Chain A
Amino acid sequence: MASKTGFIRKTSPYVRGEANVKRMMLDVLIALAPVTIFTIYKYEWTAVWIIAVAIISMVGTELVYYKLKKEPFTLKNGSALISALIYALILPDITPLWIVFLGGVFGMYFGKLVFGGLGANIFNVAGFARVFIVISFGAYLVYDLDTVAGATALGIVKEAPFNMMVLDNYPLWKLFTGVGEAGSIGELSGLLILIGGIYLFIRRSLDWRIPVSYIGTVLVLATVGALVTGADMSYPLFTILSGGILFGAIFMATDPITSPVTGPGRIYYGFGLGVITYFIRVFGALPEGVVFAILIMNMFVPALDYYKWANSKFTKRSVIVFSVVALLTIGLLIVGV
């Protein structure tokens, strides 16, 4: 009865969970679906073309790269597809297709493949591609970063960030639902983005810490700003519903590859994103800075993860340091506005 052969070498543990990368990526695609469909409904063929070219350029680049390297194209998990879709959704509708293509190729190659492919990239691939085309072809985009289409809400507010008179033209419900508003093609409907976010949260395919800390930070800072300048209290809500904060917080900042690996680290990361985003809006030369904030914070990830201080739990010391930094930030804002 006993057999002497056919025993396989394994090391413990011998069972594995059910989580897998493919499923996680599929979840992101599902979460992006409502936003994508709404975008196509709204921009019709323009959106279809931008999305198609983004996918062809990014997925194509990855495919060609692995063919040339003669490595098997094993990354069938859809990560390139997600980068491409997110990249397309943060573009203005007037972006010429050849720019979409160049940005896709450049972003995929220099944002991901040169670092060693999936998992090794430092920057969010879609954000990297987006910033590349803003810097290289800014003149073709006419409207500035993340906010588009003539008189976008943020473009106007830029002149006087706390003047709520201007905002009468942009009722919050319109910004929230995306009905009849202008902006980057995928960032219009806060509602649909939130639905995607809630789906990802239920599936546990995103870490709630990042969007909560990111949006929470912006809300707190905007509330302080409103209190100091005496602006209407709908201003904080306007701040998070306009521009790319919701989209960036839910679909880009949560990219696990380019975020820290500890719970506290992710809270700090979200905080940093919130501060940079809000400061660019209020003090910066650009009307919007979600993508820049994400790329800047991407660079701080290795520092947040550095083994000499990164901890998987909050410690007394880290809470004190974090509180001091947060208070200083609020102080800076009060002095600044």
Chain B
Amino acid sequence: MIRKTNQIRTLDELPKSLPTVSIDVPEKVYVTLMEMRTKTYTLSVAEGDQVKIGQIIGERDGGYFKQPIFSTVSGTVGKVVKKFTYSSKKTECLEIINDFKEEYAPRVKERADSEISKLTKEQIVEIVKENGVKGLGGGGFPAYIKLNTNDPIDVIILNGVECEPYLSADYQVIMKDSFEIFKGLEYVMQAMGTKRAIIGVKETKEKLLQKLIEVKEEHFKDLNVEIVGVGNYYPQGWEIELIKNTTGINVKPGTLLSEYGIVEFNVTTAQAIYQAVKYNKPVIDRYFTVTGDAISKPCEMTVRVGTPIPNIIEAAGGYGIEGDKVLILGGPMMGSNLLMDDAITSITVTSILVFKPEEHIEEPCVRCASCVYSCPAGLQPVQIMSAAKLKDGDAAKALNVMNCIECGLCSYVCTSKIHLTEFMRKAKKLVK
């Protein structure tokens, strides 16, 4: 089909709304010591030490920023082991053996509202930094860096779009913790001295819109927050797309949002900022979705950060099929693939999808240009593919492959079932 596509099909046999199940806090959690943006770390605890929830146990180093590492259970520090994580690679993780006392570290304590209202920008930035708050929509970018800008900020945008099919973490956080999201937003506005904010959700999710308006009317009448419903298409959750559709501002790829007077956070990040400012508490659990046609009982749950994947699968009734499966952490369009389930969840992971493998017969490119019409970044994937095949880095660069966000639409729409996204990745390597 020669057309612009921005709708992603979902499997009909999977339920649209999932039941919520409970999952026990595991006997052992594994805290990731390195993440996407942090390649080295130092530990401040040793094997055998007692730790509590929210206790700082080390520091990740991302070059120009550092991030504290927290224990997500109370118990005894174990060994440093290698586990598969969101990165699809084995990464070093610290094992912590749970004592099931669920005790919080002394640093986790409530701040009085009167104290909070006097906090300056620098203090809020410091609190957010100390609690390691990062982009919980999946980006993992440290939140304090966004807050610490010197550019004047006119508008704070909260992203609740969650445009990939199947995912529901943002949905759950809005339905359950809207109050905390607004509070977090209030703190951000206080820090930035910003008078205006927008919360963007899909216009098709009426319950979310209702809930947000309800909470705003009840508790935040004076806060200048617009609740905006945006179109139900993919990748509406991409910040550039969301900003265009809520403010009309066209952000050029590669520029900083703060240059346009915008700061953008995921709704869950706003909630995390609230938890950090109000309770000095880092993120220790996340709303989670487990689904797919190879899962017995697709469901939603609240998962402690660092829980091993097999525990989560078990809570969802186990694998529904024998034989080959595709295991994905994250969404069906951009998630990462795991070759073993000996893996753990980290702070930015909010879903596990397990599918029966789908085979596609790849045919020669017929140059239908659906990929060109569908690319949200305005690129020409078919031409970039040619450049990648010819190993022509200059052409790939001139075709702006570096603006590619790997949203996966080019592969999705391809008439010939060519895996264009993979060629985009190859082309990016040629440019580097």
Contacts and interface: CB of A to CB of B under 8 A. Distances in A.
B380 A2 contact: no
Interface in B315-360: 318-319, 322-328, 332-342, 353, 355, 357-358, 360
Interface in A235-274: 256-257, 259-263, 266
Interface stretch (B45-53, B153-161, B410-418): B410-418
B366 A257 contact: yes
B367 interface: yes
Given A10-B326, A261-B380, A20 B334 contact: no
A9 B333 contact: no
A21 B415 contact: yes
Contact of A12 (B310, B358, B408): B408
Contacts of B9: 15, 17-18
Contacts, number: 171
Pick the most buried of A17, A77, A310: most chain B CB atoms within 10 A of its CB: A17
B1 interface: yes
A4 interface: yes
A332 to B, nearest CB: 30
Contacts of A334: none
Interface stretch (A49-57, A86-94, A113-121, A182-190): A113-121
Contact of A256 (B332, B363, B368): B368
A305 B370 contact: no
Contacts of A12: 328, 332-337, 406, 408, 421
Contacts of A24: 1, 366, 368, 415
Interface string B296-325: 000000000000011001100011001111
A124 to B, nearest CB: 12
Nearest to A9: B339
A205 B368 CA distance: 9
Contacts of A21: 363, 366, 415-416
B375 interface: yes
B364 A119 contact: yes
A207 to B, nearest CB: 5
B301 to A, nearest CB: 16
Contacts of A17: 1, 5, 9, 412-414
A256 B1 CA distance: 11
A263 B380 CA distance: 11
A8 B370 contact: no
Nearest to B377: A312
A307 interface: yes
Contact of B413 (A19, A261, A263): A19
Interface string A1-37: 1111011111111111111110010000000000000
B402 interface: no
Given A7-B338, A261-B369, A77 B363 contact: yes
A308 interface: yes
A75 B337 CA distance: 31
B134 to A, nearest CB: 21
A2 B319 CA distance: 8
A205 B415 CA distance: 10
Contacts of B5: 17
A204 B423 CA distance: 25
A203 B363 CA distance: 20
Nearest to B312: A2
Given A1-B314, A10-B326, A204-B1, A312 B339 contact: no
Chain B: number of interface residues, binned into ranges: 35 or more
A261 B395 CA distance: 16
A52 to B, nearest CB: 26
B378 A119 contact: no
Interface in A204-238: 204-207
Give the interface size class of chain A: 35 or more
A16 B337 contact: no
A313 interface: yes
A143 B366 CA distance: 34
Interface string B191-224: 0000000000000000000000000000000000
B369 A205 contact: no
Nearest to A266: B369
A1 B357 CA distance: 20
Given A1-B313, A263-B373, A256 B2 contact: yes
Given A1-B314, A11-B337, A262 B372 contact: yes
Contact of B421 (A13, A18, A75, A263): A13
B379 interface: yes
A256 B336 contact: no
A119 B386 CA distance: 12
Contacts of B277: none
Contact of A14 (B337, B363, B369): B337
Contact of A20 (B310, B328, B340, B415): B415
B369 A207 contact: yes
B276 interface: no
Contacts of A3: 319, 341
A8 B357 contact: yes
B206 to A, nearest CB: 25
Nearest to A203: B1
B226 interface: no
B314 A15 contact: no
Contacts of B33: none
Contacts of B324: 6-8
Given A15-B165, A16-B412, A257-B367, 16 more contacts: A1-B313, A7-B340, A13-B411, A14-B326, A14-B335, A15-B332, A17-B414, A20-B363, A24-B1, A24-B415, A119-B416, A256-B2, A256-B366, A310-B380, A312-B380, A313-B378
The 4 closest A-B pairs by CB, nearest first: A13-B408, A2-B310, A119-B364, A19-B1
Interface of A: 1-4, 6-21, 24, 75, 77, 79, 117-120, 203-207, 256-257, 259-263, 266, 305, 307-308, 310, 312-313
Interface of B: 1-3, 5, 8-10, 165, 309-310, 313-314, 318-319, 322-328, 332-342, 353, 355, 357-358, 360, 363-370, 372-373, 375, 378-380, 382-383, 387, 395, 398-399, 406, 408-409, 411-417, 419, 421-422, 425
19 contacts: A2-B342, A7-B325, A7-B340, A8-B326, A9-B337, A11-B337, A12-B408, A15-B358, A17-B5, A19-B1, A20-B416, A119-B363, A119-B364, A119-B366, A120-B364, A204-B2, A204-B3, A257-B367, A307-B383
